[in-house]
């Protein structure tokens, strides 16, 4: 016949010196509430000299073991189960030791202090500035590496990769000519139409010719072309080199003893240095033609008169101001596109992220440099 389980108890016997703490009965979850009350009553009534008697301990589970740990304390619990007169079963010894070690290792997590919104905002601004600074240093270093590679290859004609350069000129220049011509033609027409509309109220519609010519020769042609190249060519460079980096083809090139910068970057840079000025010149022509069409249709300015006004009012320095910016933009767009390709970590997601980054950085750099150049040329009266 099975005996019914007896509720556990803890009694302090102070009739002898030193006092004796007897732990008896079942210390299980079923008696947890009563055992917890007993533990609370005994708290502070015994000290380190009190002996512990665990021989009357019955069933024991994790809940009871945790109460025993709190009742007996860490130091005594670490010693009592190993006492030679203790009749605890090996399973109870192991359970007490496990709970004792677990509670000893347990640390109440420290709540992180709340950070104010202003501090978080300043932190994010600081991180963004740090990222921009590091990206700028990387770009400057990469520009230096490209220039060093070009200079090193000049006295070695056999290292020139003319076939690759011509192929990239076709991809970046010839294939982009239709979209550049169409876009600048339409923008030239819009600028001429807006200029004619505004200047008509002042009786100065004839100056629409000067407006179109000045805007396209100095700013619009090179800026629109550079932005198109940033979106079309820089992204292509990043995707091409990034895919090679993801497929470990860059490592294979280095293993063969070849220089990836000389093999992949320099031909693309040289190709864009040739293509972007040509496209800029095409954009100037297309924009002026678009403005001439609107002038002929809306203002009754014949093509001959249009050309005569261009020749008399527009100096060649305005054409040179626009053209001199094209190689600088081309070099930076190609460098940013190739650098972002080398930053790809190896996944398709990384290729997409760096492709987007190359377009954003290229457009940002182009617009900032164009603004700085415009201010410089205006101050120099060029």
pLDDT of amino acid 35:
80
Alpha helices in the chain (DSSP H): 32-42, 62-72, 74-79, 90-105, 117-153, 162-169, 177-200, 208-215, 221-229, 235-246, 249-255, 260, 266-298, 303-313, 316-342, 348-379
User: Residues near 243 by Cβ (< 8 Å), separated by ≥ 6?
Assistant: 344, 351
| Token pair recorded at residue 76 | 């005594």
As assigned by CATH, the class of the 9-105 domain is alpha beta
pLDDT of amino acid 79:
56
pLDDT of amino acid 62:
78
| Token pair recorded at residue 42 | 């005994």
CA–CA dist 289, 184 (Å, integer): 9
pLDDT in tens, the chain (382 residues): 334 457 777 777 777 777 777 777 777 877 778 888 877 777 767 766 677 777 777 787 777 777 777 777 655 665 554 444 456 677 777 777 777 777 666 666 667 777 888 888 899 999 999 988 998 899 999 999 999 888 888 888 777 888 888 988 988 888 889 999 999 999 999 999 888 888 777 777 788 888 888 889 888 999 999 999 998 899 999 988 888 888 888 889 888 888 888 888 999 999 999 999 999 999 999 999 999 898 888 888 888 888 888 888 888 888 898 899 999 999 999 999 999 888 888 777 888 888 888 999 999 999 999 999 888 888 887 7
CB 191 within 8 A of CB 266: no
pLDDT of amino acid 1:
35
pLDDT of amino acid 82:
46
pLDDT of amino acid 19:
73
pLDDT of amino acid 85:
45
CB 28 within 8 A of CB 60: yes
pLDDT of amino acid 276:
93
CA–CA dist 290, 189 (Å, integer): 5
pTM: 0.68
CA–CA dist 28, 56 (Å, integer): 14
| Count of C-beta atoms within a 10 Å radius of residue 198 | 13
Identify the bridge partners of residue 23 per DSSP, sorted by sequence position: 10
Every domain of the chain and the residues it spans: 9-105, 126-379
């Amino acid at each position: 016949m099975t005996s019914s389980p007896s509720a556990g108890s803890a009694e302090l016997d102070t009739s002898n010196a030193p006092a004796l703490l007897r732990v008896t009965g079942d210390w299980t979850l079923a008696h947890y509430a009563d055992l917890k009350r007993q533990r609370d009553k005994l708290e502070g009534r015994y000290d380190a000299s009190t002996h512990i008697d665990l021989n009357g301990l019955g069933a024991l589970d994790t809940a009871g073991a945790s109460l025993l740990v709190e009742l007996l304390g860490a130091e005594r619990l670490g010693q009592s189960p190993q006492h030679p007169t203790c009749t605890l079963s090996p399973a109870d010894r192991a359970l007490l030791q496990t709970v004792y070690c677990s509670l000893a290792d347990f640390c109440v997590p420290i709540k992180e202090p709340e950070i104010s919104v202003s501090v978080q905002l300043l932190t994010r601004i600081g991180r963004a500035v740090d990222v921009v600074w590091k990206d700028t240093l990387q770009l400057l270093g990469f520009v230096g590496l490209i220039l060093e590679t070009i200079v090193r290859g000049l006295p070695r004609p056999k290292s020139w990769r003319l076939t690759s350069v011509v192929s990239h000129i076709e991809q970046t220049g010839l294939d982009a000519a239709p979209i550049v011509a169409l876009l600048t033609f339409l923008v030239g027409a819009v600028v001429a139409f807006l200029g004619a509309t505004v200047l008509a109220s002042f009786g100065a519609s004839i100056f629409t010719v000067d407006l179109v010519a000045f805007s396209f020769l100095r700013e619009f042609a090179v800026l629109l072309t550079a932005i198109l190249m940033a979106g079309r060519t820089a992204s292509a460079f990043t995707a091409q080199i990034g895919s090679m980096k993801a497929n470990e083809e860059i490592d294979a090139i280095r293993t063969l003893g070849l220089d990836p910068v000389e093999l992949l970057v320099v031909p693309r840079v040289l190709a864009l240095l040739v293509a972007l000025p040509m496209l800029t010149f095409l954009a100037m022509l297309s924009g002026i033609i678009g403005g001439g069409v609107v002038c002929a249709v809306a203002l009754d300015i014949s093509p001959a008169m249009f050309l005569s006004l261009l020749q008399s009012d527009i100096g060649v320095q305005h054409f040179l101001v626009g053209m001199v910016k094209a190689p600088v933009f081309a070099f930076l767009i190609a460098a940013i596109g190739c650098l972002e390709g080398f930053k790809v970590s190896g996944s398709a997601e990384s290729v997409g992220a760096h492709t987007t980054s190359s377009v954003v950085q290229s457009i940002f750099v182009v617009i900032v440099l164009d603004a700085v150049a415009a201010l410089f040329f205006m101050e120099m009266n060029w």
